[in-house]
Amino acid sequence: MKINVEISDIVQNSAEALIVNLFEGVNQPAGGTGAVDKALGNAISDELTHGKTFKGKLGETLVISTHGKIPARYVVVVGLGKPEKLKSLQLRRASAAAIRACQKLKVNRVATLLHGAGIGNVPAETAARLLAEGSLLGSYKFTLRKTGKTEAEKEAAPLGNPIEALTIVEQDAQKKAAIETGIRMGSIIADATNLARDLAFDSANYVTPTFLAKKAQEISQNEVTCKIYEQADIEKMGMGSFLSVSKGSDQPPKLIHLTYKPKGTPKKKVTLVGKGITFDSGGYSLKPANAMELMKDDMTGAAVVISTMKAIAELGNLDIQVDGIAPCCENMVNGKANKPGDIVTAMNGKTIEINNTDAEGRLILADGLTYAQQNVHPDELIDLATLTGACIVALGKEASGIMGTNDELIDGIRHAGEPAGERFWPLPLYEEYKEMLKSDVADMINSGSKGQAGSSAGGIFLNEFVEPDQKWVHLDIAGPSYTDRDVPEVPKGATGVGVRTFLYYLYSITEI
Ligand code: BES
Ligand code: ZN
Ligand code: ZN
């Protein structure tokens, strides 16, 4: 979908469908919506007064046939909800709901008002960014492995309908440049999120560590460089913990390292480390069949890191050095695989007794974190991982767990997550949790006490691989990485959670 801006009158626009908007509780539409209402002989206000369903609630849509009164065939009215509640999330969601209504109409060319611009203090650039984000996030569907393009197929999958062009129609020519900037920014942010969704939802026989490494190489451009470490390099660096997970698989491991360097001296260095388990069978601590079904998405952390770096390569214009690191391998079973009780030595010299081969994410991240600190010396170190089922038990699908060694960094990420529409809820890293990791034979075990603070146990394990004065945050995205709920801007499937929060954090994008 190509998004552009046009300075003209929406009523006369020749698109097949027009998107207009309405606040909840308003019976007499004004502005662009009012003009369309008038041209349709009060069809919208009539529905508001006499109809029974459409109330302008957030994300609600009303489709009106224009019967030739204006060039467009349909008008889609989208609810913005209550004006006092209008924030980034609402604008993004309204745009997503509207574009999905248009997909159902099977139209190809759509024109839209710029929702929210001029309301309160919402700048046109922000409104355009959120419109672009919402439209591209909402119309997303995983279609990579479907063949055929027949009408019957589109019928079966209404969201598969590709809208070719979305035109933002604005009357004020002075806003054009700002809207174009917003469209560009929003499109890059949403496209990166959709890439993360594709990578996470695609199957593990396609998305191998080698596949992810190729992707990372493809996205390196402009100021972003890419280095791939092969098995032999990883051995040379002494990453015994990472390699122990990988050796049970026929797929070779890859360590991906992408770097963005600003032209001048960087203000600070932020390093992102993502868990890249391209399939998690559990290893010899084998998962039951139902728990294994979705484990192709256990590389969401790596996908999010790669996709964030892609957006940074495209956006540029950032005075921070950003490193994206992803240890990638499979967790499988064969004659060489980790056995419960095996003891391995991590890159930082610590020994780990693997009491559960299914707690493999922390084993690969341990070396990823050591590598990041030794090679980059970051000011801020952030890892994200689909690390524990316990995090889903604690927080459900509505929030990721956040824990770390620096409150300011934790607050910064949580704050960026708000306008991004991604929640992070703090979990503790109490000293006492260390007791859970006591081993009789090695420096630590990899899996804590069953049924007790599983996400914090994961965090406290990772903390063993973080230098004492390192600012570090761990994000457990096991819950939000995948959704069964169909939210307008987060369709069912892989969500790409983290991409927006990282980009909002790095680019200091704040709430409206
Ligand atoms: N990849 C899983 C965590 C997970 C579970 C993510 C469900 C998404 C949905 C991770 O590698 C794992 O298996 N963790 C174990 C840890 C335990 C053995 C300490 C778990 O959660 O059971
Ligand atoms: Zn596991
Ligand atoms: Zn896992």
What is the per-residue pLDDT across 396-408, written as a single tens digit (0 to 9) for each?
Answer: 999 999 999 999 9
pTM beyond 0.95 = yes
Residue type, position 97, single letter: A
pLDDT in the model for residue 158 = 53
In sequence order, the 6+-apart residues with CB closer than 8 A to the CB of 483 are 397, 490, 492, 493, 495
| pLDDT confidence band for 284 (50 / 70 / 90) | very high
Domains 2-191 and 202-506 belong to one CATH topology? no
Phi, psi of 82 (to 5 degrees): -75, 135
Q: Starting from the CA of residue 481, give the closest ligand.
A: 1
The atom number, within ligand 1, closest to the CA of 481 reads 8
Q: Starting from the CA of residue 294, give the closest ligand.
A: 1
CA 364 – CA 377 distance, rounded (Å):
19
pLDDT in the model for residue 162 = 81
Q: Are 274 and 303 in contact (CB under 8 A)?
A: yes
DSSP 440: S
pLDDT at 120 over 80: no
- Listed residues: CB within 5 A of ion ligand 3: 277, 280, 298, 361
What would the pLDDT profile of 153-203 be if each residue is shown by its tens digit?
Answer: 544 555 557 899 999 999 999 999 999 999 999 999 999 999 999 999 999
Q: For 119-185, list the strands marked E by DSSP.
A: 165-170
Q: Are 484 and 499 in contact (CB under 8 A)?
A: no
pLDDT in the model for residue 74 = 98
Kindly state the average pLDDT of the residues 114-131. 92
Cα dist from 195 to 29, 86, 149, 480, whole Å: 38, 28, 21, 16
Kindly state the average pLDDT of the residues 453-473. 98
CATH of span 2-191: 3.40.220.10
Q: Which residues are catalytic?
A: 287, 362
Distance 352 CA to ligand 2 centre (A): 16
Distance 239 CA to ligand 1 centre (A): 22
What would the pLDDT profile of 483-505 be if each residue is shown by its tens digit?
Answer: 999 999 999 999 999 999 999 99
Distance 316 CA to ligand 3 centre (A): 32
| pLDDT confidence band for 38 (50 / 70 / 90) | very high
What would the pLDDT profile of 190-249 be if each residue is shown by its tens digit?
Answer: 999 999 999 999 999 999 999 999 999 999 988 999 999 999 999 999 999 999 999 999
As a whole-number percent, the residues of the chain with pLDDT over 70 amount to 97
User: Which residues' Cβ are closer than 6 Å to ligand 1?
Assistant: 280, 298, 356, 358-361, 386-390, 447, 454, 478
pLDDT in the model for residue 149 = 66
**Nearest C-alpha to atom 8 of ligand 1 is from which residue?**
478
Q: Which CATH class is domain 202-506?
A: alpha beta
Q: Are 1 and 136 in contact (CB under 8 A)?
A: yes
- Which of 305, 291, 207, 298 lies closest to 257 in space, CA to CA? 305
pLDDT at 307 over 80: yes
pLDDT at 512 over 50: yes
Residues facing 344 on adjacent strands: 352
- 10 Å Cβ neighbour count for 172? 13
Q: Are 23 and 44 in contact (CB under 8 A)?
A: no
pLDDT in the model for residue 159 = 58
Could you tell which of 294, 358, 393, 445 is best to mutate to test the pocket of ligand 1, judged by most ligand atoms within 8 Å of the CB? 358
pLDDT in the model for residue 119 = 77
What would the pLDDT profile of 409-462 be if each residue is shown by its tens digit?
Answer: 999 999 999 999 999 999 999 999 999 999 999 999 999 999 999 999 999 999
pLDDT in the model for residue 155 = 47
Distance 279 CA to ligand 3 centre (A): 8
Backbone φ/ψ region at 424: left (φ over 0), alpha (ψ -120 to 50), beta: beta
SS3 229: strand
Would you kindly state where each structural domain of the chain is located, as residue ranges? Answer: 2-191, 202-506
